[in-house]
Amino acid sequence: MSAATTRSRTQRAPRTPRAARTPDRLCAEAVDLAREAAEEAAAPGVVGEHVEAVAEGDRVVTHFFRAKEPGYRGWRWAVTVTRASRAKNVTLDEAVLLPGPDALLAPEWVPWSERLRPGDMGPGDLLPTEQDDPRLDPGYSGEDVPPPDSVVSEEMADHLDAEDAEITGRVPSRGAIAAVADELGMRRARVLSRYGLHLAADRWDEAFGPNTPMAQAAPATCVSCAFLVPMAGSLKQAFGVCANAFSPADGHVVSLAYGCGGHSEAAVMPKPPRPAAPVLDSFSADVFPLRPAKDSGSTTEPDGASEDLGHS
């Protein structure tokens, strides 16, 4: 017999799939033993009917019972039994509660960094940022090493010493550079990266951009509105801040292509006409009688009865 023939005969046969295995007869018949174990692990009355028996291996069978606990729809009690080789006594292995194919399961756990949504933060909440957050880039804090081509860097000083050169003019110190950076508002540990700028621009354009229903029905865009407050930096080319108290975007960053009915030039009301100033003639005098005329109807002649009674 050759070595190849011996090797082929000693090779392990391919494993039979779990669903195609035939359960051990004695282990498959131990349904009562499995039910007693399930009721002991759970409680009497919550273990339902026997569903199936699945072979886990040689002389190892798992019995499944329907779980009747409220809130565990589709779950099953799984009790595994086994027996030793050439033994007829079936013993208990384990009893656990497992979800079935149509079990009601909780959603997959999501880390808080992926679960957090805009508007979830409240007063007193702290939102940490990762050290390698792609939305941020390192900024100037005054403690960073100057660039290699800077006049205050050690590499540049060594290079000048090697070439016996001198630096003409006043060399700014690190403290002076930090003071200028602090005055310009650049003394921050990290600044917004280009990726962070794109994310912010996408959010603002989605909320107050040209594709919103309000902008589609607007008479004009914000680029020609007097209530638009320009922004600084690179975002000023596409965004601004609305300052119209009657606009739905008041106090929000809006796209220059956004618009609403509160545009400053949408419907300009004409000024009401001013009446002419009154003309006063100060050179002539108007004559007014001190007493009304008798025939004007404002006075009446006294009758005789009133004179007899002494009335005037």
| Model pLDDT for residues 271-296, shown as the tens digit of each residue | 788 888 887 777 777 777 777 777 76
| Contact indicator for 247, 262 with CB cutoff of 8 Å | yes
Q: Give the SS3 label for residue 265.
A: coil
What separation in angstroms does the CA of 39 have from each of 66, 80, 130?
12, 14, 49
Expressed in percent and rounded to 5, the helix, strand and coil fractions of the chain are 25, 15, 55
pLDDT at residue 86 in the model = 87
> Is residue 170 pLDDT above 90, yes or no?
no
| Model pLDDT for residues 92-131, shown as the tens digit of each residue | 999 999 999 888 888 888 888 788 888 888 888 888 888 8
Q: What are the phi and psi torsion angles at 18 (to 5°)?
A: -60, -40
pTM over 0.75: no
Q: Are strands 253-255 and 47-57 parallel, antiparallel or unpaired?
A: unpaired
- Token pair listed for 210: 């040209």
pLDDT at residue 20 in the model = 63
Which helix (H) or strand (E) segment holds residue 308: the answer is: helix 304-308
> Is residue 305 pLDDT above 60, yes or no?
no
Q: Give the SS3 label for residue 170.
A: coil
> Is residue 215 pLDDT above 90, yes or no?
yes
Domains, the chain, ordered by start: 18-99 (3.10.450), 136-190 (no CATH), 194-255 (no CATH)
pLDDT at residue 301 in the model = 62
Identity of the residue numbered 77: W
Which helix (H) or strand (E) segment holds residue 5: the answer is: helix 3-10
| Model pLDDT for residues 36-64, shown as the tens digit of each residue | 999 999 877 889 999 999 999 899 999 99
- Token pair listed for 85: 């080789």
